[in-house]
Chain A
Amino acid sequence: MDQISNPTPPRWPSLFLRWYCHPDYLEDIEGDLIERFETTTRVKGVKAAKWNYTKDVARLFRPGIIRPLSGSYQLNQYGMFKNYFKVGIRNILRHKAFSIINITGLAIGIACCLLILLYINDELSYDRYNKNFDRIYRVLHVYRNAESPGTLPPPSPEEFQVWGSAPVGPALKADFPEIESYFRFTSPVELLFEHGSKRFQEDNMVFADSTAFDIFSWNLISGNAKTALKEPNSIVLTLSTAMKYFGYDEPLGKTITIDQTETFVVTGIMEDVPSNSHFTFDGLISMTTFQIWRPEIFDAWGYVDFYTYFLLKENTHIESLESRIPDFIEHNGPEWYKADNTIALEPLSDAYLHSKAARQPGTTGSYTNIYIFSFIAAFILFIACINFMNLSTARSMERAKEIGVRKTVGAQRHSLIGQFLLESILLTILAATLAIALIALVLPFTRELSGKALLFSDLLSWQFTLLFAVSILLIGLLSGSYPAWILVKFKSSQVLKGNYKTSSGGTSLRKVLVVFQFTLSMSLIVGTAVIYTQLNHLRTQDLGFSDDQMLVIDFGWDGAVQRQAESIKAELKAHPKVSKVSASRAVPGAFFPNAGTTIESADGEMIMHNPGIYEIDQDFIPTYEIEMAAGRAFSKDFPSDTTQALIINEAAARLYGYTKMDDVIGKKFTQWGREGTIVGVVKDFNYKSLHTKVEPLSIRYAPSNSLRHLSLKVSADEMNTTISDIEQQWAHLVPQRPFIYSFLDDSFNKQYEADVRFGKIFTAFSGLAILIACLGLFGLTTYAAALKTKEIGIRKILGASLFSIVTLLSKDYIKLFIIAVLIGIPISWFVMNRWLDGFAYKMQMGPGVFFVAAFICIFIALSTISWQSIQSALRNPVDSLKDE
């Protein structure tokens, strides 16, 4: 028969058969199959034959035919595993100190990792509770002042702001059929709420469209989601706010008096906004209310007070909307089109971590921090693993005899490796158990540190459990692999002869690992030092105004106070401890608006920009001790100041093209319906956080209806009596308003809360990293000292001093520390410089920081070492030599 023209059986089934079939049976079974295949080919054709062949192979896959486990597979491993397990446990128990160091170090590492993982998990979970998460977008706005459309370059992501105008939402819905519905809410308003005897100042209430519950998956406990926010003067409260006023009574349908004039009906109670939302509020007031209060702003494209979100219909793409935005602007907002304003659409998934836009409705997270913390977590775990490897290799010689014996009785290489890996996995599991106990213990305290409530129950999800189990195995394998490899290399003949003590397996690697650990520790110490110095630098930086003993009273635009501002000021100033009083709309560190301002530039043209605006009275500049660079401050002597004068800061003067501040005086301006001349230039003062440079600011005389804060300069002594005096006076003067006060330096420094928290977390973790590194070092020196017990004994007999013995034991390590410090300096310098770039006002990172860090690092390390070295140096040589 011609072999070539003959069809052959299908390839893959044959290979499969050869793989599984018992080798003794293979030949004749395959022969049978081929014979059948050939017969079928003749009768029914190749295709059917191939199909039958495949079927037959599949049917042959059964216990009687499959090859049995052969070789070592055949042996029952159970007995051996039991033995490994027992030996492992005995080893842990015999060397208690080592085991404790190993297990605690690893446990701390794992616990840190888990905590950071929980934190990151929470950061990444923001807004994901929304069922429509993928379909929710928000509108970003950019407000500019172009001469004619298209003359300005496209805006950068930082130029956009989330805060925008009211008509954009409805116009978008009308123009784009892809949009299912839109939802607007305002920035929080401060309102005085009253129900019966309960009276509180609420400062996180927002006006919201009735579509709130269509778009966001907030849980309405009672009330109708569709109609709750439809009618004017209806309000939906969060559960905790409702509890404050109504306790356990049914709140639905009850009324709340707001600002003593308006009556609101509670139309819904919702669960508190989940903590992982990128904005929160305590209650929603129907937008229709706001429409009645301020009808004109709902058509004003130039008035900015709204956040606009919208829900895209299913199976539509945001790209199709984005391309039509220019058209949309041109047709809907003619003023916008002229000024080259535009909008952009941002998915909800970007809102918390990725948005670069300004004027966010809530706090945003930081992707950089997530990266930094992940790195720290990985580092700490890595340091802990290094300890583990170091200690295990260092101790390996004690196990040499065991290995020798095992090898002589026939243990194979891989079974020895298996034994040591099993041991390290065992240790890791113990460490992991301890880690979980640690977390359960520590978790309640992390709230202060991380600013969020992390829940232990998050650890119980199956993804987490799976990840945890796999990681434990991996950590065990990873940290056990090197010691196992070293141990297995021992030659049994030498070991059993007793020569093994000379072998110093893995010394160089151990050194590298120690250097690595301490480089990290060094960098972390530098990091901590830099963060704290910088934060201190921010606090002590001259802000350009006086923030000491500045008591700020917030009366929330109370009409009565606004009207009597001057008399109230006079009454307060009458107190002997109060030296100066001023009223204004904003205070440094608090919110202020921006205003389109046209000023005659250095070239003589009228130019419009959008600087920030402070509305103040004539006492503000003296009270805050802000210095004038040119011109004069507002004064009662110039009655026209209240309507026709403007002060700008140096940054604004530069913005309008001036280099000499005196030149600005007397130039014309128009702003928010006022016209007049510039009367003064103030020196730049830091009215915002020191993350940013001082930005252009315009300062004008406040109309009485825009006042909100009173600033009182009080003397430092007997502060408590002063405050209670003022409080009494306030209750007498303004009985309708609670006395809400703060100290300016406190509230100003609140802007650095995130930085302070970052510093705290950083310190905590660097402390832990150093602790783990020291644990490892302690273990290593203990071991080194134990090895040299006899040498030390002999040296002592021959007259060596304590100092020389301590030096003998530590000199190797000192070299390593110096190397670590030298490597750590450039690394930390580079990294911390990047961090400092986030501040406009940064500290000088001089050599001092590094000196201190290096000193701390080496000091900690040396004290760890000397503890052990001194102990062994003090030991009586008789004890160490008598058993020879």
Chain B
Amino acid sequence: MSKHHLGEFEEIVMLTVAILADEAYGVAIINEMESRLGRQVSIGALQTVLRRLEKKGYLSSQFGEATNVRGGKRKRYFSLTTYGKNVLTEVKEQRLSLWEAIPNFSLNK
């Protein structure tokens, strides 16, 4: 097993951040997850995971410009770090190798 362990929710969050590319901030991530997976996520749950991933070095973040909406508060945009990308890739490959190792599973059947 790899030394990188990603939880299921962590993985989904990272993937969503990757999908949103430059637009990945809190509310946008939640909306994206809701529309793609039909999954209701609270801000609390998301933010905790985001901070944890950032601390682990998988994500980085920077503030955007202040606007009139959101009570004048800036958005924090998250993006994958190279390290994070590597971890995601690694996880994906592990999964694939697992899928392929299932003996009775074939398209031919």
**Which residues of A are in contact with B by a Cβ distance under 8 Å?**
1, 8-9, 25, 27-36, 38-39, 55-56, 58-65
Contacts and interface: CB of A to CB of B under 8 A. Distances in A.
Nearest to A29: B47
B25 A28 contact: yes
A64 B52 contact: yes
Nearest to A36: B27
26 contacts: A8-B71, A25-B51, A27-B63, A27-B73, A27-B74, A28-B73, A30-B71, A31-B71, A31-B73, A31-B75, A33-B43, A34-B69, A34-B70, A34-B71, A34-B73, A35-B69, A35-B70, A38-B70, A56-B42, A59-B45, A60-B47, A61-B44, A62-B44, A62-B48, A64-B47, A64-B51
Contact of A32 (B26, B51, B52): B26
Nearest to B72: A31
Contact of B69 (A1, A9, A25, A61): A1
- Size category of the binding interface on chain B: 20 to 34
Contacts of B48: 62-65
A840 B32 CA distance: 95
A65 B45 contact: no
Most B CB contacts (10 A, CB to CB) among A1, A29, A62, A63 go to A29
Contacts of A27: 63, 73-74, 76
A69 B2 CA distance: 34
A875 to B, nearest CB: 69
A31 B45 contact: no
Interface string B74-89: 1110000000000000
Interface of B is mostly: helix
A131 B70 CA distance: 64
Nearest to A39: B27
B44 A28 contact: no
B43 A60 contact: yes
Contacts of A56: 42-44
Contacts of B106: none
User: Which 9 residue pairs are nearest across A and B when measured between Cβ atoms?
Assistant: A31-B73, A59-B44, A28-B76, A32-B26, A64-B48, A60-B44, A31-B70, A34-B71, A59-B42
A9 B26 CA distance: 18
Nearest to A27: B73
Interface string B26-43: 110000000000000011
B68 interface: yes
Interface in B38-62: 42-45, 47-49, 51-52
Nearest to B51: A64
A55 B76 CA distance: 22
B15 to A, nearest CB: 20
A59 B63 CA distance: 23
Nearest to B76: A28
A8 B71 CA distance: 9
Nearest to A53: B43
Contacts of B43: 29, 32-33, 36, 56, 59-60
A9 B68 CA distance: 15
Interface centre among A8, A31, A62, A64 (most CB of B within 10 A): A31
Contacts of B27: 32, 35-36, 39
Nearest to A55: B42
Contacts of B26: 28-29, 31-32
Given A59-B43, A60-B47, A28 B52 contact: no
B76 to A, nearest CB: 4
A28 B26 CA distance: 8
Contacts of A9: 71
Contacts of B74: 27-28, 31
Nearest to B77: A28
B16 to A, nearest CB: 15
A611 B52 CA distance: 94
Contacts of A60: 43-44, 47
B37 to A, nearest CB: 18
Contacts of A36: 27, 43
A62 B49 CA distance: 11
Nearest to B43: A56
Contacts of A31: 26, 70-71, 73-76
A35 B75 CA distance: 10
Contact of A25 (B47, B70, B71, B75): B47
A844 B1 CA distance: 101
Contacts of A30: 71, 73
Contacts of B71: 8-9, 30-31, 34
Contacts of B42: 55-56, 59
A380 to B, nearest CB: 57
A31 B28 CA distance: 12
A246 B51 CA distance: 84
Contacts of B49: 64
Nearest to B68: A1
A55 B26 CA distance: 16
Contact of A65 (B51, B63, B69, B75): B51
B82 to A, nearest CB: 23
B17 to A, nearest CB: 14
Contacts of B47: 25, 29, 32, 60, 64-65
A465 B63 CA distance: 56
B51 A28 contact: no
A254 B25 CA distance: 94
A30 B70 CA distance: 8
Nearest to A64: B48
**Most chain B beta carbons < 10 A, residue from A25, A63, A64:** A64
Contacts of A65: 44, 47-48, 51
Contacts of B44: 56, 58-62, 65
Contacts of B75: 28, 31-32
Given A32-B25, A61-B44, A38 B69 contact: yes
A19 to B, nearest CB: 16
